[in-house]
Each structure stands twice: as C-alpha cells, then as structure tokens.
Amino acid sequence: MFVRIDSGQSLHRLLFDCGDGCLSSLTFADIQAIDVLFFSHLHMDHVGGFDNFFRCNFSRDAKPNVIFGPPGSGQILQHRFQGYLWNLHQELRGTWRICEVHSDRLQTWRYELVEAFSVAHEEDGKPFHGVLIDAPDFTVEALAMDHLTPSLAYVVREKPRSNIDVSELQTLGLRPGPWLKQLKEATPALEFIEVNGVSHSVSSLRQSVLTVTPGDSVAYLTDFLMDESALSRLAETLRGCKIIVCESQYCRTDQELAQRNYHMTCTLAAEAAKRVGAEELVLFHLSDRYTPDVWAGMLRDAQHIFPSTRFPDAWPTRRPGVGNPQASWAVP
C-alpha cells in the first residue's frame, strides 16, 4: 500500500510492504521520494519488490533510509543488502536503519554502504507503546498480530487541521498577520495574543476564527489470524479509522483453511471493518487459487456484511495480489 499524505505544507510518502511488481507504476524519482518503508512481515510475497526499491535508494543521502518491521527484520534485510557485488562503492555514502518493532521496545540496527553492509551496528533501543511515528501532521501506529510469526498491522492517521475562517476575521475586524500562525500553533500555556496592538484571549480567538477539520486515516492489515481476540484488539486500536485496506486471502467457505494458515477470509475482513466502524474497506491479496468469478463472489460476500467494500482502483485489469499498489490515499 502506498500512502501519500499531503497536508498543504508538506508531503510524505509511506510504503507498506514491497511485493513483486508493487513499484512498477512509480518512476525512479517517485521511488526515491518514498520516505519510509514498513514491512508487515518478511514472507517473500511481501518482499519480492525490494530489489527495485533498494536499486533506486541504496546510496540515498537526501533523506534518511528507514525501514520498520517485526523482530528479525534487521538480519533478513542485511542479507538482502549483502546479496550484491560491492566493489565500486567506496566514494558513495548510504546509511540504512532497520527498526524492529518488539512488544515493548524499538530496536534499531544501522548498516553502512561504505562497509558493504557487512556490520550490524546496534543502536540504543527506545520504549514502544504503539506509536512508531508522531510527526507534526500525522502518526503511524503498529500492532503485532499472529501469523505464526508477528505480522504488523499499521494505522496512519492525519492529525486534525486548523484553518482560518476568513469571513469571521473580517467580521471581527482583525487584520491577518503572523499572529494567525501563532494562534494555530498555540500551546495551552499561551493565554493571550496581541493582534494589531490589542491583547486577545487565545481560547476565544481559536473558537471564533479557527475551523478544525478531522484528519483522514487508513489501516493496513495483512496476513494474520482474525479470531475474536484479534478482532477486539483491532477494534480498540483502529477506532475511528476511515479506510481499512485488508487482505482477503480466502473465500467464505474456506474459513478452516484460512485459520490453519493464519490468514483471513473476505467475510472476516468485512467483520473487522464493521467492528471498527470504518467508512470503507478495500480488499487485496486474494489467493491465486480462485478464478476471477470467485473473486467477484468474495467481494459480494464481503459487501453483504460491510456494503462499502471494494477492490483497489487499479484492479481488475491486474490480478489481485500483494505485489500491486493496493491503495493510494492522499489528503488534499
């Protein structure tokens, strides 16, 4: 899943898993512009496109190279880094950090291109309480689910945005100026702001001239057992999440197979979206064992439980799978 977060002031690009062909619709520059890569887990169908990502970014120094993944990601990705001949790299610099998400801490490993990625440098761990990234305009949370190995579920939430109500400014006779930025960013400690030489209460100014728009949100759920315990944990963590992008490996009648392989069915995905109170469900990662007719039936089965269910926009011209860009989400 590729997520673009455009807050107006800044643009962030986040990639969730990197299966075979998932970057094929992006240009070289687009791939170089990806800020962070998040792996749910490292089964090969989620990593098959990593060579392409790494080819574009191995010596990137314009921005940090950061990858999040479950425990063990550092060792597996170091093998990927070292899986090439490095003999012309001495003049190049590239630092990569793999941040492993453990139950209560984040463990980061650093690898250097100048060392041909031969050394895993252990960095100081940090406590982890669910939030991986807390940026000024968005957050990314992670929750470890059970796929007979940890598979991380991710939630991206845009923070609420404050906009100036221009007509209210005119009504109150307040001239725009730097004080508006001060008002938007005001902390609770700031009680008064001076506007055109007159002191105003921050709280009453905020009430009258700021309109607050709630942020968008999207969750990425793939490859785990969806039982009652998983459903209730997700319902808690994903509360209020608008879009759920969820694997739908098996059809409704193959629930036993899904449980045995620690995967989901289309109807379990729909149950999850319903329980969370989402607005929209996007199904992906359908098994190749089924024909397109069966996929159509899986979509209908999910819609029966959760009507706002669809496949990603890029389908059905391409076969559903983890390799395709599953959903693009942009906040205008």
In the complex, the residues that contact Zn ion under the rule CB under 5 A are 43, 45, 223
Q: Residue 57 or 326: which CB sits closer to Zn ion? A: 326
For 3, the token pair is: 């997520």
Closest distance of CB 45 from Zn ion, Å: 4
Contact of 209 with 183, CB cutoff 8 Å = yes
Closest distance of CB 100 from Zn ion, Å: 17
Contact of 283 with 321, CB cutoff 8 Å = no
Residue 120 carries which side chain, given as an amino acid letter? A
Residue 258 carries which side chain, given as an amino acid letter? A
Q: Which helix (H) or strand (E) holds 266?
A: helix 266-276
Is 45 an annotated catalytic residue?
Answer: yes
- The catalytically annotated residue of 6, 35, 45, 146 is 45
Q: Residue 158 or 223: which CB sits closer to Zn ion? A: 223
Strands (E), the chain: 2-6, 11-16, 36-38, 65-69, 95-101, 105-112, 121-122, 126-127, 131-134, 138-146, 150-158, 161-164, 192-195, 198-201, 210-213, 217-221, 243-247, 280-284, 309-310, 328-330
Chain-centre distance for alpha carbon 201: 38
Q: Residue 45 or 280: which CB sits closer to Zn ion? A: 45
Q: Residue 20 or 223: which CB sits closer to Zn ion? A: 223
Strand 65-69 and strand 95-101: the pairing is parallel
Residues forming the active site: 45
